[in-house]
C-alpha cells in the first residue's frame, strides 16, 4: 500500500496546469501523426497538431517525407488543413504567398514592390522533424530534436513481434471517442494493472493478469501478459480473427505499452491498434483508435469467427449481468467499461471531499510513476506561478 499524492488535484481540473502540459510536454516531444498508409504517394499531405504547433507533413516528388510548421511566413495563417493529395506547391489563401514543397518561398504575388529590401530566403517555411517508426508517422516541432530512434530505442525490444507494415486497416474501422476526462485519467487507467481482474473480470479474462510483466522504460511504459491456458491451448481455433503472429511463438501473449505522452499500443493476437489520447481541455479528451489486422480474405475471417464463437460466447460477460446492455457495465465491452470509469472518476475531482485513497503497491505502481514523471516536468513552472 502506498499513498497516492503524486500530483495535486489541479493537475486534473485546472486550465493553467493544462496549458503548462501543452507547452512543456506535448509541444516538446515526438507526436503521433498517423500510419504510413496516410501518406502514400508524392503530393500527399497531412496536418497534425503537436502540442501548440500545427505541422504539415508532405511527401515530395522524390518520395521523401518533409514536415513544416503549418504557417504562412507573412501573417501566420495556417496554410493547409486536414489531409489531401496532389499538392505541388503550398499557397496561402490570404495573400497568395507561395512555397515550394521544399519549403522555399517562391513569390510575393502582385505586391512585390511593397516588399522591397526583404530577404526572401529568410521567409521559407519553418522546418519540423518527421520520421517513421513501427509503421507510424511521427513529428516533432523542433527540427533539431532527439532522433526518433533514440526516443523509442529503449522500448523497442519490449514490443510484440508484429510486422505492422504488413497488416491492413479495414475501411471505416477508425473509432473516435470523446471522453469527459483529463488525458492523464485515461493514461492511468490504461497502465493500471490492478483493475484488469476487477472491472474487466468478464471482458479481459482471456489474458493471464497474474503473470503480467510491466514497468517504465524511461518515459515509456511496457506491458506484457500471456494468454490464459484454455485460450492458448486451441489458439488457432479460439482466436476471434486470423492470428497476426505465429502461434508457435514462445512468449505468446499481448503487448500493451503506453508511449509517452498518451499514445497506447495494443499489440494483440488478432489485431494491432494505436490508441491516441488527445487532450482537449482539463476535463475532456479525444481518443482515436486505429486498428490493423491480417491481410486475409472475407472467407478466412468468417471461418475464424465461426470456429471461435463457442469459446467467446462462454468467456465474455458483462460486469453486471442485471444491467441493460446499453449501460457500459452491462455492455460486455471493455472499452466502454473503461470510458465509463474514467468519466465517473473525473466527476468526483471537483468535490471538496475528494481525496485519493491508498494505492496498490504492485498493480498501481505505474500510476504513481506516471504522476511523478508529469510532476517532475511541470512542478517548476507550476510553483513559479505563485511568484509574481
Ligand atoms: Fe481497463
Q: How far is the CA of 334 from the centre of ligand 1 (A)?
A: 6
Q: How far is the CA of 120 from the centre of ligand 1 (A)?
A: 53
Q: How far is the CA of 373 from the centre of ligand 1 (A)?
A: 21
Q: How far is the CA of 336 from the centre of ligand 1 (A)?
A: 9
What are the phi and psi torsion angles at 106 (to 5°)?
-90, -55
CATH 3.40.50.720 fits 157-384, yes or no: no
124 by Cβ neighbours in 10 Å (0-12 / 13-18 / 19+) ranks as middle
What's the pLDDT tens digit per position in 240-261? 999 998 877 888 999 999 999 9
Cβ pair 260, 234 in contact under 8 A: no
Our CA dihedral for 133, 137, 142, 148, rounded to 10 degrees, sits at 0
Cβ pair 224, 158 in contact under 8 A: yes
Write out the E strands in the chain.
Answer: 31-35, 45-50, 53-59, 65-69, 83-84, 89-91, 98-100, 105-107, 129-133, 136-140, 175-179, 213-217, 220-226, 253-255, 258-259, 263-267, 272-281, 284-292
Residue 110, pLDDT score: 62
> Could you tell me which residues are beta bridge partners of residue 281?
284
Q: How far is the CA of 256 from the centre of ligand 1 (A)?
A: 11
Q: How far is the CA of 239 from the centre of ligand 1 (A)?
A: 21
The length of the chain is: 388
Using CA atoms, how far apart are residues 101 and 58, in angstroms rounded to an integer? 7
Fold match, 31-144 / 157-384? no
Domain at 31-144, CATH class: mainly beta
Residue 3, pLDDT score: 46
Q: How far is the CA of 346 from the centre of ligand 1 (A)?
A: 15
- The ranges assigned to domains in the chain are 31-144, 157-384
Quick one: pLDDT band at residue 5, thresholds 50, 70, 90? low
Flag the least confident range among 114-123, 186-195, 297-306, 366-375: 114-123
206 by Cβ neighbours in 10 Å (0-12 / 13-18 / 19+) ranks as buried
Quick one: pLDDT band at residue 121, thresholds 50, 70, 90? confident
Amino acid at each position: 500500500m502506498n499513498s497516492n499524492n503524486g500530483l495535486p488535484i489541479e493537475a486534473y481540473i485546472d486550465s493553467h496546469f493544462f496549458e503548462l502540459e501543452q507547452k512543456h510536454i506535448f509541444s516538446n516531444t515526438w507526436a503521433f501523426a498517423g500510419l504510413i498508409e496516410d501518406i502514400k504517394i508524392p503530393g500527399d499531405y497531412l496536418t497534425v497538431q503537436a502540442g501548440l504547433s500545427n505541422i504539415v507533413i508532405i511527401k515530395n516528388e522524390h518520395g521523401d517525407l518533409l514536415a513544416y510548421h503549418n504557417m504562412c511566413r507573412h501573417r501566420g495563417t495556417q496554410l493547409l488543413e486536414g489531409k489531401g493529395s496532389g499538392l505541388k506547391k503550398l499557397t496561402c489563401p490570404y495573400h497568395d504567398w507561395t512555397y515550394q514543397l521544399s519549403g522555399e518561398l517562391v513569390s510575393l504575388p502582385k505586391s512585390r514592390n511593397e516588399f522591397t529590401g526583404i530577404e526572401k530566403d529568410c521567409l521559407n517555411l519553418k522546418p519540423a522533424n518527421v520520421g517513421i517508426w513501427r509503421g507510424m508517422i511521427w513529428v516533432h516541432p523542433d527540427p533539431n530534436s532527439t532522433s526518433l530512434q533514440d526516443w523509442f530505442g529503449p522500448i523497442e525490444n519490449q514490443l510484440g513481434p508484429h510486422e505492422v507494415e504488413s497488416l491492413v486497416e479495414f475501411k471505416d474501422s477508425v473509432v473516435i471517442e470523446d471522453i469527459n476526462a483529463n488525458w492523464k485519467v485515461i493514461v492511468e487507467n490504461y497502465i493500471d494493472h490492478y483493475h484488469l481482474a476487477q472491472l474487466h473480470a468478464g471482458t479481459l479474462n482471456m489474458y493471464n493478469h497474474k503473470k503480467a510483466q510491466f514497468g517504465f522504460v524511461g518515459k515509456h511504459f511496457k506491458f506484457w501478459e500471456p494468454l490464459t491456458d484454455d485460450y492458448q491451448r486451441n489458439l488457432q481455433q479460439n482466436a476471434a480473427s486470423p492470428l497476426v503472429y505465429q502461434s508457435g511463438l514462445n512468449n505468446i501473449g499481448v503487448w500493451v505499452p503506453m508511449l509517452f505522452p498518451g499514445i497506447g499500443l495494443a499489440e494483440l493476437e488478432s489485431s494491432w491498434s494505436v490508441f491516441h489520447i488527445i487532450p482537449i481541455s482539463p476535463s475532456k479528451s479525444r481518443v482515436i483508435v486505429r486498428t490493423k489486422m491480417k491481410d486475409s480474405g472475407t472467407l478466412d475471417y468468417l471461418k475464424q469467427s465461426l470456429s471461435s464463437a463457442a469459446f467467446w460466447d462462454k468467456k465474455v460477460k458483462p460486469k453486471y449481468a442485471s444491467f441493460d446492455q446499453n449501460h457500459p457495465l452491462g455492455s460486455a465491452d471493455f472499452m466502454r467499461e473503461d470510458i465509463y470509469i474514467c468519466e465517473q472518476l473525473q466527476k468526483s475531482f471537483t468535490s471538496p471531499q475528494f481525496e485519493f485513497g491508498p494505492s496498490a503497491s504492485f498493480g498501481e505502481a505505474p500510476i504513481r510513476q506516471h504522476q511523478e514523471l508529469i510532476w517532475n516536468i511541470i512542478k517548476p513552472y507550476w510553483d513559479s506561478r505563485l511568484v509574481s
